[in-house]
Every structure is written in C-alpha cells, then in structure tokens.
Amino acid sequence: MRAPVTHMLPLTSIVRERLLPIPGEVHVKLNQTVSPGDVIAEAHFAREHILLEVARKLEVSNQAADRLIRCKVGERLQKDALVAEKKGLIPKRITAPQPGRVVAAGGGQVLLELGESTIELKASLPGKITQVIPERGAVIQATGALIQGIWGNGRIDTGLMLSLIEEPDAVITPDRLDVSLRGSIILAGQCYDGQVLQAAAELPARGLILSSLPPSLLPLAIQMRYPIIVIDGFSRLPMNQTAYKILSTNTKREVSINAERMDRRTGKRPEIVIPLPVSQQPPEPRSIDTLAPGQQVRMRRAPHSGVVGILENIRPGLSTLPSGLRVPAAEVKLENNEQILVPLVNLEIIG
Amino acid sequence: MPASLVEGASLLAIDVGTASTRAVLFDIVEGSYRFVASGQAPSTAEAPFQDIGSGVKDAIKNLEEVTGHTLLDGGNVIIPTQPDGSGIDTVAAIISAGPVLKTAVVGLLSDVSLYSALRLASTTYTRVVETIGLNDPRLPEEIIDNLIRIKPDLVVIAGGTDGGATRSVQKLLEIVGLSCYLLTNDNRPAILFAGNQEMKKEVSELLGNLSSLLQFGPNIRPSLENEDLGPASRQLAQLQIGILKNQLRGTEELEVWAGGHILPSAYAQGRMIRFLSRAFGAAKGLLGVDIGASATTIAAGFNGDLSLNVYPQFGLGEYLPEILKYTTIEEITQWLPIEIPARLVHDSIYERSLYPTTVPTTKEDQAVTQAIARQALRLAIQAAKQYFPPEAKILREDLLPLFEPIIAGGGILSDARPGQSLLMLLDALQPVGVTTITLDQNRLLPILGVAGEKNTLLPIQVLESGAFLNTGTVISVISSTSFGTPVLRATLIYNDGNEVNTEIKFGNLEIMPLKQGLTAKLKLQPLRRADVGLGPGRGGIIPVGGGALGVIIDARGRPIQLPEDPGRRRELIKKWTWTVGG
C-alpha cells in the first residue's frame, strides 16, 4: 500500500515553489542565490474601495451619468479631484473623497481603490533560483537537513538554532528562556504553558521548535510574530527520535523555519531547513512511497501517536485490532524493541 | 461472476470520499439487481497524490481482487462488458471529497429569499462565509472589500419573485459583479442564480464574463409564500461538480466514465430519500443520516418532499475541531463508557483532523471516536430539525418528528458492531414512537441515488434484496417519571403463538429477540401515562419486524437525561452497551 512520506532527513535536496497569491512583480533571476529573508516577489493590492453613486447623486439616469463622468479607469485621483460634473442652472460636482485610483467606471457608478498594501514573498529557504515564474514567484533549490512539522503559525524567519533540551521528552518552562537566547531559534521540546510563548516573544526569539503543543495554546501561538513549528502532535508528545537527532546535532547552525500552515490539498507543510554544504547534489526525497519492511514509519494515531519505529512485516489479509476492527495492518518495532500491530492507514513513512 | 441478463445491466458505482474511495458492483442475479461486492482504497484527492483517479483505480483493482472480474485495462474502465466477460456496462459516481466550498449567499429579504438561498447552499458541501441582503447595514464598498478578502468559491443569488422586483436584485448583482471584476481570473467564483427568472439575460450580461462558471436554476422563491429548493438544488449539485472539475484532478475522467452521471454524495443521498419517502407514503417522515469525514448529512423526506442539510462542521475529518464551536468537551465525554480525561479527548479531536483517514486501534480510542460521532450527529439533527415542515407529525415540540424508517450510514457506523451502531443512533437521534432503524453498512444509499439516474429498476431491487442491515423495530418510551419506575408492559407474540412478556423500567433499554425476516405482534401497555407514540398512556397491538437485534425498547425517556454523577453515568452507558451487544 502507498503511504504519504513525512520528510526528516539529515541531508537532502529541497525544491520549493514560492508563489504570490495574486499577480505581481518577481525580483529574482535564474541561478540567483537567495537567503531565506530575501523578498523574491511582491504584489500590490488595495484593501479598501469607495463606490461613488454618480447617477444617484446627480439625479440622472445611469446612461446620462456615464456621460458626466470625468475620470478614466486607471487614473489616479487626488483628494477633491473631479469625478463627475453636471452643468446647468444648478450645477453639481462629485469629487474624490480621498486620494485613490479609478478601477471601474460605468453604470452610473465609479469605483475607487484607496491606499495600497504590499505582499512581500520571502524566499523562506536559502538556495538557488532554478525557475522564475513570471508575475508569480520562483522555484528555489537548497541543500541541507529537512524536518517537516504538523502545524505552523504562518510565520517565517531564520537564525541561529540553540537548544534548551537534553532529551526528546523535555518540557519547556518559561524560566528557561533568558536573554542569552535573544535573536535565536529555540529548540524547545514539549510546551504546555502559554507563558513560554510570551517569554519567547519578549526576548525576542526568531523561532520556536516544539515537539507538541496543546490545542488550547494554538490561538496564542497564532498571535506570536515569530515562527512556531510543531513537529509531532497536539497531545503531550516527546519529539520523535529522528527529528531530535537531526536537530540536536545541528545546534548553533543557521536554520530557516517556514511555519506555514499545513495544506492537505497542496501538500504544503511547515518545515525547518538547515543549509549544509555538499560536494554533490543529493537526490530529492519522494513524497509518496509504498510501505515495505525495513522502512522507518511514524504512527499517526493513539496509543503510539507520533512515535517512530521500523516496519517489520506487513501482514497478509486483514488483522483484528483490539478495537475490534479488521483492517490491513503491519508489525512495527519501536525503539524499545516492543513490537506493535498498526493499521496501514495509521502509518506514514519517514524519509 | 454472474452474467448480465439484459444489455446495459451491470453497473460499477464509484464513491469518492474524503477518507476512502469505493468501487461498488451491481449486477443481475437470479433475475433481479443485487449488490455484488465492493472494493476500497484510501482516497487520493489530497497531497501528495492530488488526483482522485489514483484512489479510484486502486478501489477498482481491489474490487477485481474480490470478485475475480476484470474491470480495468491499462488504467481505463472497460465499457461495455466484453464477450470474454470482462468490463462493465455502465458507470455512475458520487463524490464528497474535495474542499468545502466557501460560499456567499445573496438575497433580498432576510426571511424570504436570503433565507431560501441559505437553505439552498446547505444542500451541499458549503461553508457560508458571507450573506448579503437588501437590508445589509454595510456600505456597498464594505461588502465588496469583504468579498475580495474572502474570495468565495461560490456565490448563490436568489431574490425577486417571478415577474417581481428587478431593481433591488440589480443592485445586489452590481455589488457581486464589481467584486468579481476586482478579483483575478483564477479567484473568480462560480455563480448560481436562482431568483427572478425574468432577469436571466441581465444576469448573464453582467456576470457571464466575471465568474468561473455561471449557472441558472429555477426560482427558489417563485412567490413570497412558496419555497421550492428541489430543482435549484439539482443545478447547485451540477455546479459543484463543475467546480470540482477545476479543483480536483481526475474528476473529469470519472465524469467521462460515468457518462455525466456524477453527483455530490449528499445530493444523491437526498435524491434516494425523496424517492423512498414517496414510496413509503405520508404517515410518517423518512430519515436518512450519514456521518462521514467530509460532513454529516441529514436527509428527511416528508410525503415526497425533501429536507436536505449538509453539515461540514459536524464531519469527522479535517473540520472536526469546528465541532467545539457548537459543543463542549463535557458534552462529548458524557457519552463515554470509560473514564478518559477531557484533555485527551480535546487533543484527539485535533489529532484526528490532521489524519482523517486513520482508524481507532484501541477500545478507548474507539469509545472516544464514537462519543464524538454521537455528539456530531446530535448537533446535526438538532440543527436540521428547524427546517422540517410544520406538517411533520410530532409527539412533542422539542422532540424529533415521527420517522419510519431511519436509514443510517457512514464509516463510523460501518466499522462498529450493529449493537454499537444502534446505540450511537439512539443516543444521537433520540427517535420517538415506533420506528425501524436500518444500517446502510455498505453505504449504498447515495450510490443508489445516482445509479437510479441510469437505471430506475436497480435501486428498488437492491433495496428489496437485503443489502441493508435491519437492526429491528425500536419502541421509544416518553415519560417523566423517576428512574427505575415501571413505564411499560410489553408482550411479543410470535407467529407460532409463543409469547415473551416483559416489564420495562424507566431508564432501561431492553431487547426482545425477533430474528431478521420474521414478523410478530407486540402488545404495548404503557404505565403512568407513558407515551410510545400512540398517545399518553395509550397502548395497543402493533405489527413488528425483526432484525439483527430484534425488538428494542428504549425507555430512557426523551430527551435522554444522563446521570450527572460520572461514575453512575458510565456504569449506565456500559449497561446499555452490554444490552445491545456492543
């Protein structure tokens, strides 16, 4: 059976497409080297509009109003600039209430867009531009360690990774966060206390890597302006050994966190990239694989949620679970040598 | 593999769900249509696959393994049946996978066309993110800015009786049109107009080039007094498939295989319930419920009229955490037969939303899953109840109308033992009077809804073939007496003359054995003015049918009052579970 792959790799090629949500301007060129914080594309849009009801205000029909409109689509108007005018015994004028750009005119109405907001698309990982997508963004290729998480708060940043944990099951408390961590990305284990998130904001930290975070803290985590990535789950879970090993052996290195939300449809996931030098480009990891003995797998549901083990044997036919369900299942060996029976649909491949 | 007796006889139905995809084979066996077998595979709508076709082919391959019948040739379904017996005559498909549609509804008056537009939107997998009415206090530009921000996938527009208001509708159309104009081409919504039919040309001119798909449906409010959602809901179903073709790879290929016979699962289920409601007659309503990963669907038929409501917020998959906006963790944990900390249940709701395709391994996990399903279904039926017609026969205002039968499907029910499923349904739906609860363990009902489009004989014959599991006849006792007080004497008189007598106390569940396929007479003598659907204190002799469990007497009252003491409550739930063989 095929299964999704979650990447936790000490060295791999990482290829990511970064796109603006609306058309804009791309600032990078093919083969250009970029840093995670580099703005590779930007787009402008108006957050607000004003609809001027010309026909109603001038008390004429829509057709007549269209003839009285004195501005054109695309034209930028200053405050009080003339929008429409009716001459006669009692002349009437409609002017722009605020500076803006005319985006539509007709049917007796004029629509002005006000102000301008900019969307900046950051590279989010260090690498080389391998493809420019006109008006939308680029494809970036990087090399290094890659760890994918299950939840992110939507922020991106890069910085030196410092560890506050000595074991995968460590629990972070607010008193562990001191000024020596300012400007760093903190490897912090399990978090049950909202004050940890607040303390990291006050430092300020550039990122927080957690094994687990309770759902009750998700709203607070979303408010934080630095990236927070959760690696294993929402229950009280230690960090899986594979991720812990990669992260703990790369402390004091520059790491990039793209804590974007997991999108089930596009496959986007929050992830950590640790750039590493290579003499030869490693292959890109697969996003789908077929379950087979010898693979490293992670359980996706209780009672071993988040735990990584080795797939030992896929049982033929259907197996009966303690819940009474009869499903295709596999025997998985955990790190403590315990062997457990897991439904195939509850497994994901780590690789 | 039986050979088909008539041309165009065998049918392969594909059901693409959020969690799993099924391939279901129907063929003629001994002169009438039968459900032959089904194959299943994990759905592949989401990343990393992002193509439903892969899951569809896996499900068909699984069906091939089960039946030994060749259906695929190089990734394509063989249509029609070949001389060597391979292939299939026809294909039909239903789909509930894919994103829930962000929907804006537009209408004139909030209690007339806007209300009906909301009702129409709820007949399929939508999430209403904006409502725009004539009396909206916001400035037009504020509405435009909001529409641009939320980028709806779908806009449903109603308003104006036929031959009635056009100017007010025009004003709303302009707001929608300007919003669409400001959105980039790839963000423009699909639009369904189901308002004043005399405005079609105007709507077409104004919105035709500004929407990704524009479709017209009959007016859902042809006059102020009349609401007619049926024909427009068909248009909406088709529009949804149109949107899915743009969003989900593989949908177009499936539509080609099915010769255009592809419907959203909820719509297909509703279609079948409406058909059965016509067939069963008017005495009681007919209820169909489906608890799936994408949504919980409630379809109720009353004398041929359908009330269809789809609740993605009460689905057991990706959107599961949304249930906590409508209920508390305590209202979920109250259904647990074992002690599990509320925090763990809370965490597991979020974990499940990450991995909707996973299944419970332990009894504890299964208990949590079933507790969540009970509350999701309870919330869905309570929400849907407000839309049942006033003429629906009721015993009491706050309770469910009388239904006969209740047909229930969904992965959670298929995975459970029949007793567990029955108890989940009794706890969540809390039916009244005398009814039959039937489990659609193979989730055939929506499939028959679409299959019926190709072959009208097939659904009737399959329904009669015993493909559904009848759990038995349920008698619900309404009483306000205290726990442990006798409320009913019942005598089950078998056809061979044997009798079984029982006295049921308030707060208990009892089962009187009556095998599937057998009938008997049940003499009911309510005590202390208890109501079994015949009126307070009124008894009688009623014919009953058997089932997997027999005759079930639910004397827990309506609504069920669970003990506040957690220990006592859990003991009671365990006792009820044991009674139904769960």
Print the SS3 string covering B93-148. EEECCCCCEEEEEECCCCCCHHHHHHHHHCCCCEEEEEEECCCCCCCHHHHHHHHH
Verify that B111 and B88 share a domain, yes or no: no
- Give yes or no for residue B466 having a pLDDT over 90: no
User: Cα separation of A36 and A46, whole Å?
Assistant: 27
> Which of A125-129, B92-96, B450-454 is predicted least confidently?
B450-454
Q: Is residue B4 part of a domain?
A: no
What are the phi and psi torsion angles at B532 (to 5°)? -105, 20
Q: Is residue B148 part of a domain?
A: yes
**DSSP letter string, B51-93:** -HHHHHHHHHHHHHHHH----EETTEE--S--TTS-S-SEEEE
User: What's the domain count of chain B?
Assistant: 3
Verify that B58 and B130 share a domain, yes or no: no
Chain B nearest CA to A104, separation (Å): 8
Chain B nearest CA to A320, separation (Å): 9
Angle of CA points B444, B450, B456, to nearest 5° = 95
Name A8's bridge partners.
A147
Nearest to B290 by CA among B271, B265, B327: B265
- Measured between beta carbons, the chain A residues lying within 8 angstroms of B62 are none
The pLDDT, as a whole number, for residue B8 is 55
Instruction: Write down the mean pLDDT value for chain B.
Output: 94
Verify that B354 and B490 share a domain, yes or no: yes
Verify that B56 and B85 share a domain, yes or no: yes
Check B348 against A235: CB less than 8 A apart: yes
Q: Does B153 touch chain A (CB under 8 A)?
A: no
Given a contact cutoff of 8 angstroms between Cβ atoms, the answer to whether B580 and B439 are in contact is: no
- pLDDT grade for A2, boundaries at 50, 70 and 90: confident
The pLDDT, as a whole number, for residue B26 is 95
Given a contact cutoff of 8 angstroms between Cβ atoms, the answer to whether A153 and A272 are in contact is: no
A99-126 core/surface letters (b: 16 or more CB in 10 A; e: else)? ebbbbbbebbbbbbbbeeeeeebbbbbb
- pLDDT grade for B404, boundaries at 50, 70 and 90: very high
User: Cα separation of B550 and A190, whole Å?
Assistant: 51
- Give yes or no for residue B5 having a pLDDT over 50: no
Instruction: Give all domains of chain A, ordered by start, each with its CATH number.
Output: 2-43+121-275 (3.50.30.10), 47-114 (2.40.50), 291-350 (2.30.30.30)
- Give yes or no for residue B505 having a pLDDT over 50: yes
Verify that B237 and B364 share a domain, yes or no: no
Chain A nearest CA to B255, separation (Å): 21
Check B361 against A342: CB less than 8 A apart: yes
Indicate if the alpha-carbon torsion angle A163, A169, A171, A176 is positive or negative: negative
Given a contact cutoff of 8 angstroms between Cβ atoms, the answer to whether B15 and B94 are in contact is: yes
Verify that B193 and B292 share a domain, yes or no: no
Q: Considering chain B, what percentage of its residues have pLDDT values greater than 70?
A: 98
- pLDDT grade for B457, boundaries at 50, 70 and 90: confident
User: Cα separation of B201 and B332, whole Å?
Assistant: 51
Q: Does B140 touch chain A (CB under 8 A)?
A: yes
Nearest CA in chain B to A4: B48
Q: Considering chain A, what percentage of its residues have pLDDT values greater than 70?
A: 100
Using DSSP, state whether B479 is helix, strand or coil. coil
Verify that B159 and B62 share a domain, yes or no: no
For residue B87, give its domain range: 11-95
User: How many CA atoms lie less than 13 Å away from B207 in the CB half-sphere?
Assistant: 32
Q: Does A183 touch chain B (CB under 8 A)?
A: no
Amino acid at B540: G
Amino acid at B295: A
Q: Is A257 exposed, middle or buried (0-12, 13-18, 19+ CB in 10 A)?
A: buried
Q: Does A116 touch chain B (CB under 8 A)?
A: no
The pLDDT, as a whole number, for residue B7 is 47
- Measured between beta carbons, the chain B residues lying within 8 angstroms of A287 are 47-48
- Measured between beta carbons, the chain A residues lying within 8 angstroms of B140 are 51
User: Cα separation of A101 and A73, whole Å?
Assistant: 8
Q: Is residue B5 part of a domain?
A: no
- pLDDT grade for A287, boundaries at 50, 70 and 90: confident
User: Cα separation of A351 and A222, whole Å?
Assistant: 29
Residues with Cβ within 8 Å of B525's Cβ and at least 6 positions away in sequence, in order, are: B488, B489, B490, B539
Q: pLDDT (tens digit, 9 = 90+) per residue, B166-223? A: 889 999 999 999 999 999 999 999 999 999 999 999 999 999 999 999 999 999 999 8
Given a contact cutoff of 8 angstroms between Cβ atoms, the answer to whether B298 and B381 are in contact is: yes
Q: Does B136 touch chain A (CB under 8 A)?
A: no
- pLDDT grade for B4, boundaries at 50, 70 and 90: very low
CA A2 to each of CA A262, B48, B162, B254, B431: distance values in angstroms, whole numbers, following the listed order: 20, 11, 54, 21, 42
- Give yes or no for residue B43 having a pLDDT over 80: yes
Chain A nearest CA to B320, separation (Å): 13
Neighbours of A27 (CB within 10 A): 17
**DSSP letter string, A153-172:** -S-EEEEEEEE--SSTT-EE
Verify that B310 and B436 share a domain, yes or no: yes
User: Cα separation of A215 and A192, whole Å?
Assistant: 10
- Tokens of residue B226, six digits: 């009349």
The pLDDT, as a whole number, for residue B137 is 95
Neighbours of B572 (CB within 10 A): 19
- Measured between beta carbons, the chain A residues lying within 8 angstroms of B350 are 215, 218, 234
User: Cα separation of B153 and B133, whole Å?
Assistant: 19
Check B358 against A345: CB less than 8 A apart: yes
User: Cα separation of B233 and B270, whole Å?
Assistant: 10
Q: Is residue B478 part of a domain?
A: yes
Q: pLDDT (tens digit, 9 = 90+) per residue, A14-65? A: 999 999 989 999 999 999 999 988 999 999 988 899 999 999 999 999 999 9
Q: pLDDT (tens digit, 9 = 90+) per residue, A26-39? A: 999 999 999 988 99
Verify that B40 and B22 share a domain, yes or no: yes
- pLDDT grade for A288, boundaries at 50, 70 and 90: confident
- Tokens of residue B26, six digits: 């129907």
Nearest CA in chain A to B42: A345
For B396-498, list the strands marked E by DSSP. Answer: 403-409, 433-439, 469-476, 486-494
Nearest CA in chain B to A235: B347
Among the partner-chain residues B140, B348, B357, the one whose CB lies closest to the CB of A302 is B348
User: Cα separation of B437 and B141, whole Å?
Assistant: 52
Neighbours of A274 (CB within 10 A): 22
Verify that B496 and B559 share a domain, yes or no: yes
Verify that B124 and B74 share a domain, yes or no: no
Q: Is residue B2 part of a domain?
A: no
Q: A5, A22, A49: best mutation site toward chain B, by most B Cβ within 10 Å?
A: A49
User: Cα separation of B254 and B22, whole Å?
Assistant: 13
Among the partner-chain residues B187, B350, B360, the one whose CB lies closest to the CB of A323 is B360
Pairing of strands B90-95, B262-264: parallel
Q: Is residue B252 part of a domain?
A: no
Indicate if the alpha-carbon torsion angle B337, B342, B347, B350 is positive or negative: positive
Q: Is residue B433 part of a domain?
A: yes
Last residue of a domain, one of B30, B61, B95: B95
Check A214 against B50: CB less than 8 A apart: no
- pLDDT grade for B279, boundaries at 50, 70 and 90: confident
Verify that B374 and B306 share a domain, yes or no: yes
The pLDDT, as a whole number, for residue B6 is 47
Check A301 against B347: CB less than 8 A apart: no
Q: pLDDT (tens digit, 9 = 90+) per residue, B416-456? A: 999 999 999 999 999 999 999 999 999 999 999 999 888 88
Q: Is B152 exposed, middle or buried (0-12, 13-18, 19+ CB in 10 A)?
A: buried
Neighbours of A180 (CB within 10 A): 8
- Measured between beta carbons, the chain A residues lying within 8 angstroms of B49 are 288
User: Cα separation of B90 and B561, whole Å?
Assistant: 50
Check A323 against B358: CB less than 8 A apart: no
Q: Indicate whether this model's pTM tops 0.80.
A: yes
Check A104 against B178: CB less than 8 A apart: yes
Check B361 against A302: CB less than 8 A apart: yes
Instruction: Write down the mean pLDDT value for chain A.
Output: 95
The CATH number that applies at residue B214 is 3.40.50.360
Q: Is residue B1 part of a domain?
A: no
Mark residue B517 as left, alpha or beta (left: phi above 0; alpha: psi -120 to 50; beta: remaining): left
Q: pLDDT (tens digit, 9 = 90+) per residue, A316-344? A: 999 999 999 999 999 999 989 999 999 99
